[in-house]
Amino acid sequence: MTVQTATVSTSTDLTGFSLIGGVPVTGTHGEVAGVNPVTGETLAPGYGLVGVDEVDRAAELAWTAFATYRKTAPEARAAFLETIADNIAGLGQALTDRVIAETGLPLPRVLGETGRTVGQLRLFAAVLREGNHHGARIDPAQTDRAPLPRPDIRLTSIALGPVAVFGASNFPLAFSVAGGDTASALAAGCPVIVKAHSAHPGTSELIGRAISDAVATHDLPAGVFSLLFGGGASVGAALVSHPRIKAVGFTGSRSGGLALVAAAAARPEPIPVYAEMSSINPVFVLPGALAQGAAALGEQWVASVATGTGQLCTSPGLVFLPQGPDGEAFTAAAAAAIEKLVATPMLTGGIRDAFDRGAAVFRDHAGVENVAVARANPDVAIGAAPQLYATDAATFVADPALQEEVFGPASLVVTVRDTAEMARILAGLEGQLTVTLHTDGAENGAAELLDEAELRAGRVLFNGWPTGVEVVSAMVHGGPFPATSNAQGTSVGTLAIDRFLRPVSYQNVPAALLPAALRDDNPLGIFRQHDGQLARD
């Protein structure tokens, strides 16, 4: 590797460097560059790929930083997160232009995702100030308890250690360098090493420098943050296998997520991997809802499927309808809506090729009808046309291949006999990020479907569409396998911080040595469970 002597710059001029503890580094293991999916143009600069030695350097710096960073006051970490947010917002048009050039995403989506990224950072600053993430519990000593006295036992949560975060292809901001995994890990007191996604390297550099600048502004240890551009599986495996790394955040394919899970499990000290991997987000439209507006529902479904060219982890690629005229009206309206659309950009050529292979499973299946395909778009170099397919319940249940995620705007309608058949099919589906139910609110079968849905998904929606994930305290963006590798976590919302914390009990610890969250004078001013009662004492 080549280590630059200059410190990280806040200029918006791109350099092609990785950042290891704030120091620009040129990788010497090959090169990647962004590609404009609309024009096909390769974007400057090229980014040198680092190797195992650079992974080791970043991990050791992160471990050194952890000793200090984990003990920073919550207010100090909150201010740090807010500075990152301010730095990202300050990038302005330079960031917007680069995201659009590297992804082909429309301006409203880019502005919305920028706002979401900044908002997540500020949300976790508020979490730190509010203090519930400590999980503080105090069970005071009972020296006169018979037959044995009870010791003083107190509990709070501490940071796990350095976290490896893998940037996502489909969210260049909200699930990448400064996305929810990074924001929640930094809030927890964990240094972060991000492996940037090669689909948007310039965007990643701009955001990485915004974080590194905030580290320097707050005089934090340099190893609190590093950004690596690395070659595929080798650097990813080195990160997950490194003994200094204590947890992993990942959003991507099932094959990629499972490879990281296997590497983490094979370590002498296994570590948790929070991998979001695969979801088809089924929608179940009950007869009452269908009778009230079949055509409108069909049009709304297509709008949700086509959002972001179907490259959203919550895209509803599967809908179940009762057979009959209302179901036919839904499908006809959906087909008409698709035929009005044109192909739109996909993020990379590799993602487009994988979409084509997945859509071919529907297209070439003897039991599946090709209902509608959007028009081609000669003005888009790397694009995909929304398309609609249909089959019956028997065909769907008989072939597991029809249940596999197709990442992109391909959608499948499945007709069923009745609501009871919907419930049986739902009970046999894999784990999902979301399950959506459309109902008139009074019909039989909704309660049975809800019972099955909550066992299959992290989020259950009624009379809506799953695209659009609110960043709020009550949000769960996770779910049973293979939606995620760990259904007990969420990558969106305030509970995301819990993934990077672990509880510790302190028994008869001298008052002067107790963590601030457990001291009798409650210097943080937080709510705590005191002898079983929640209070701010």
Of 54, 102, 113, 276, the active-site residue reads 276
Residue 208 in contact with residue 227, Cβ under 8 Å? yes
- Model pLDDT for residues 360-396, shown as the tens digit of each residue: 999 999 999 999 999 999 999 999 999 999 999 999 9
The predicted structure's pLDDT at residue 342 = 97
pLDDT digits (tens, 9 = 90+) for 332-354: 999 999 999 999 999 999 999 99
- Please name the residues in contact with 3: beta carbons below 8 A apart, sequence gap of 6 or more: 20, 23, 24, 25
160: left (phi over 0), alpha (psi -120 to 50) or beta: alpha
**230-253 tens-digit pLDDT:** 986 789 999 999 999 999 999 999
In the chain, the percentage of residues whose pLDDT exceeds 90 is 96
**Residue 315: which of 187, 409, 445, 397 has the closest Cα?**
409
* Rounded mean pLDDT, 95-119: 97
pLDDT digits (tens, 9 = 90+) for 260-270: 999 999 999 99
Cα–Cα distances in angstroms (integers) from residue 110 to residues 321, 385, 392, in the given order: 34, 21, 38
Q: What are the structural domains of the chain?
A: 18-34+43-141+151-277+489-498 (3.40.605.10), 283-462 (3.40.309.10)
Handedness of CA 349, 354, 355, 361 (dihedral sign): positive
Active site residue 190: no
Kindly give the pairing relationship between strand 18-20 and strand 23-26. Answer: antiparallel
Question: What pLDDT score does 10 carry?
Answer: 44
Residue 470 annotated to the active site? no
Nearest-angstrom CA–CA distance, 199 and 48: 14
pLDDT tens-digit map of 205-237:
999 999 999 999 999 999 999 999 998 678 999
Which residue do the tokens 């790397």 mark?
382
What φ, ψ does residue 265 adopt, rounded to 5°? -75, -25
441: confidence class by pLDDT, cuts 50, 70, 90: confident
**Per-residue confidence band for 3, with pLDDT thresholds at 50, 70 and 90:** very low
Segment 20-47 shows an average pLDDT of 96
CA distance 503 to 464: 37
Instruction: Give me 6's structure tokens.
Output: 């200059």
Q: What percent of the chain has pLDDT over 70?
A: 98
Q: Which of 11-20, 236-245, 333-342, 451-460 has the lowest mean pLDDT?
A: 11-20
pLDDT of residue 226: 98
**Annotated active-site residue in 102, 113, 205, 313:** 313
